[in-house]
Amino acid sequence: MRKQVKTRAARPRQGMARVGQWPLWLAVAAGPAMAEDAPSLPAVTVSGEGVPQEAPTVAKLPLTVREIPQSVTVIGQEQMREQNLQSLDDVMQHATGITVQPYQLLTTAYYARGFKVDSFEQDGVPVLMGNMAASPQDMAVYERVEILRGANGLMHGAGNPAATVNLVRKRPQREFSFNGSVSAGSWDRYRAEADLGGPLNDSGSVRGRIVSAVEDRGYFYDVADQQSALLYAIGEVDLGPQTVLSAGVQTQRIRSTTNMAGVPRYKDGGDIGLSRSTYLDAAWDRFNWDTTRVFADLEHRFGQGWTAKVSANYLTADSNLKYAGAYGAIDRQTGLGSRLMGGAYKFDNTQASVDAYVSGPIQLFGRRHELLLGGNAQRTTSEQYTGMFTPALNVPVNVFDRDPHGVPEPGVGPYTSPGETRLKQQGVYGMGRFSLADPVTLVLGGRMSWWNQTAPGARQQIDPEFTPYGGLIVDLNSQWSLYGSYAQVFQPQSQLTREGKPLDPVTGTNYEAGVKGELAGGALNVSLAVFQILQKDRAIQDPDWPCVGNNCYYVQGGEVRSRGIEAEANGQITPHWSVAGGYTFNTSKYVKDPISNGQPFASFTPKHIFRVWTNYALPVLDRRLSVGGGVQMQSGYSTVSGPVTLRQGGVTLVDLRAAYRVDKHVTVALNLNNVFDRGYYQSLSGTSWNNRYGEPRNAMLTLRAQY
């Protein structure tokens, strides 16, 4: 069924192709505060014993990684502790095939297979994350992170064909447990965590868990710092032998002196060679977040394998930003070109999500099959307020001799807003997993979505949109299987035609085929995949109506293609030796575009990304001593900024770890990152500002107690 697009907008789109209409979990207007956008190991045979990994929940059915016909990465508690992955940014930086771009839309953006990740879940419920000015995500709350790469319109409807990130929260335990840690590291970074849970009555039918984390940290660049406090509490009640009700709250408070400017480049795109400690903002910068989530779910097991679950999630998030940073490319002869610019902003966001589904087995033609039927809905509101400096800032900056304390903090006039943006999305989905023969499994599914956005001065409605899903799995034996899959997702567009109507949505289609294996008794997952993504019906400028000034009209017809190979290994080679690694080769380009045809689409995404981490408990001292190490390698990348191209060469980073288990409860560990102190740019945005150095060599000492 083809969608119908309705609109009440009457004005032509101003300016060049602007940020499109964001999906529900990314719905927020891009205001003047927005910074410049940057637009698996091969399978090997091993032996050993281990414990099978917990099945990911991103697919909602009880499937192992091998049974999901798409590339899946699971990063659990142990790996996060070994590598000191304390934020979602840290996790994604070490995940297979993910590119991390800080300060995009005033938050950190993640890219997979050339596209921005805009589909996020908590416990399988679509949630608002990654939106403009979104706060950092602390990992103390989460048991593991599941990353399903490629399109996922089946569960989400609108989005990019990049990946879905599902953050699985910690749940109450049926036995008492305590986990606490204190850490101290480079640049005056201090952190403490506490995690306590267990039964709250004699029978264990009522359980609870509480997690807290506090952190005070500096950064490798001057002046900036951040203080954060997190509290998470969840309760669980057995309403009957087959029914469980849970509810909880998660709140986070962050106060920071931010670094909006990064560093500029020469006007010709060259590196100006500033120290990595350079801070080109004002010392009175601030970026503060207050975030609260309330959630609940009810799960009932009917027997004979059938389960029903209803989940709800509510978010309220407020943030405020006040900054002044150096903006402007530098002239090689004079060293001038930057001026101090900034502003004051407030952001208000709310989100309400609900997801309900029923799943279970059926017998058909003498074989067992799995069915999943469900639906979900999201409602978000977002509003941006802008305040003007009094007096206005227009101060020249010498980036080679900058005093962050040299400019007095200005006042802020009344805050104003164009109005609230509201976005609604709902859909129903269904999927069947059919056993055609002993070695062959067919997966078929689809979703019907309804999407509606009301913004100041315009309304857009897409109603309905169908996204199909299909996959085929062939078991070669008890350890290995071949698979192929087809998945779609759609993305609304905001660009307008000559008639003042928004374009139809972009369609992203993911084709993938590969081989997966379960080794070491199911404790080690390996995979090799090839993929191709086609994103069609993208907006291009109307050739019959050239732009007049900043007024442009658009038609559909643009197409982007992404291709690549992914290989991954994750799990236990032996009970004492773990590995998590992956290799990605990816290219993307415009295949139909009157201006950019044949050019790279996401040049800031390296063609080659290799990441591996391994940890081994040495066969001495009763296995109390363990050592670990990791390598991150990526090829060079580039970013186009006006008439010039910015380039970063290939980078190799080495991390090391040593840990000693004092007794069965206490462990001390030392992590050393970027051991050889490699200097590089983590991201390049433009000649004027927002180019970000990667972290220099740094260390973290952690003392952990578990009971």
The SS3 assignment for 645 reads strand
- At residue 25, does pLDDT exceed 90? no
| Euclidean distance between CA atoms 313 and 316, whole angstroms | 10
Residue 622: other Cβ atoms inside 10 A = 8
- At residue 44, does pLDDT exceed 70? no
| Euclidean distance between CA atoms 568 and 516, whole angstroms | 9
Name the residue with higher pLDDT: 293 or 457: 293
H/E stretch holding 680: none
Quick one: pLDDT band at residue 458, thresholds 50, 70, 90?
confident
DSSP secondary structure, 110-158, as one string? EEETTEE--EEEETTEEE--S-TTPPPPBGGGEEEEEEEES--HHHHSB
pLDDT of residue 14: 35
Contact 323, 683 (CB under 8 A): no
Residues above pLDDT 70, as percent of the chain: 92
Whole-structure pTM over 0.75, yes or no?
yes
- At residue 211, does pLDDT exceed 50? yes
Q: Tell me which of 43-57, 60-74, 267-281 is least confident.
A: 43-57
Record the tokens describing residue 251, joined without a space: 């709140």
Range 126-139 average pLDDT: 94
pLDDT of residue 680: 97
Residues above pLDDT 90, as percent of the chain: 85
- Name the residue with tokens 């009880």: 62
In the predicted model, what is the mean pLDDT of the chain? 91
Range 255-279 average pLDDT: 96
pLDDT of residue 24: 25
| Euclidean distance between CA atoms 46 and 579, whole angstroms | 12
pLDDT of residue 550: 80
- At residue 13, does pLDDT exceed 70? no
| Euclidean distance between CA atoms 584 and 568, whole angstroms | 9
How does pLDDT run across 470-518, given as a tens digit for each residue? 999 999 999 999 999 999 999 999 899 988 888 999 999 999 999 999 9
- At residue 312, does pLDDT exceed 70? yes
Name the residue with higher pLDDT: 171 or 39: 171
Contact 35, 260 (CB under 8 A): yes
Range 587-604 average pLDDT: 93
- At residue 42, does pLDDT exceed 80? no
Residue 677: other Cβ atoms inside 10 A = 11
Which among 275, 262, 284, 278 has a CA at the least distance from the CA of 329?
262
- At residue 15, does pLDDT exceed 80? no
pLDDT of residue 7: 41
Quick one: pLDDT band at residue 157, thresholds 50, 70, 90?
confident
Pairing between strand 651-661 and 666-673?
antiparallel
pLDDT of residue 20: 33
- Name the residue with tokens 């399978």: 43
Quick one: pLDDT band at residue 52, thresholds 50, 70, 90?
low
| Euclidean distance between CA atoms 364 and 442, whole angstroms | 14
- At residue 658, does pLDDT exceed 60? yes
Name the residue with higher pLDDT: 308 or 18: 308
pLDDT of residue 54: 66
Q: What φ, ψ does residue 90 adopt, rounded to 5°? A: -60, -45
Contact 181, 704 (CB under 8 A): yes
First to last CA, the chain: 56
Contact 70, 485 (CB under 8 A): yes
Contact 345, 323 (CB under 8 A): no
Residue 633's Cβ-side half-sphere holds a number of Cα atoms within 13 Å equal to 10
pLDDT of residue 60: 84
Range 453-460 average pLDDT: 90
The SS3 assignment for 623 reads helix
Enumerate residues 6+ apart whose C-beta is below 8 A from 152.
119, 159, 163, 164, 487, 489
| Euclidean distance between CA atoms 518 and 203, whole angstroms | 38
How does pLDDT run across 674-685, given as a tens digit for each residue? 999 999 999 999
- At residue 317, does pLDDT exceed 90? yes
Range 281-287 average pLDDT: 97
Contact 237, 245 (CB under 8 A): yes
Range 314-331 average pLDDT: 97
The SS3 assignment for 25 reads helix
Q: Tell me which of 16-20, 201-205, 412-416 is least confident.
A: 16-20
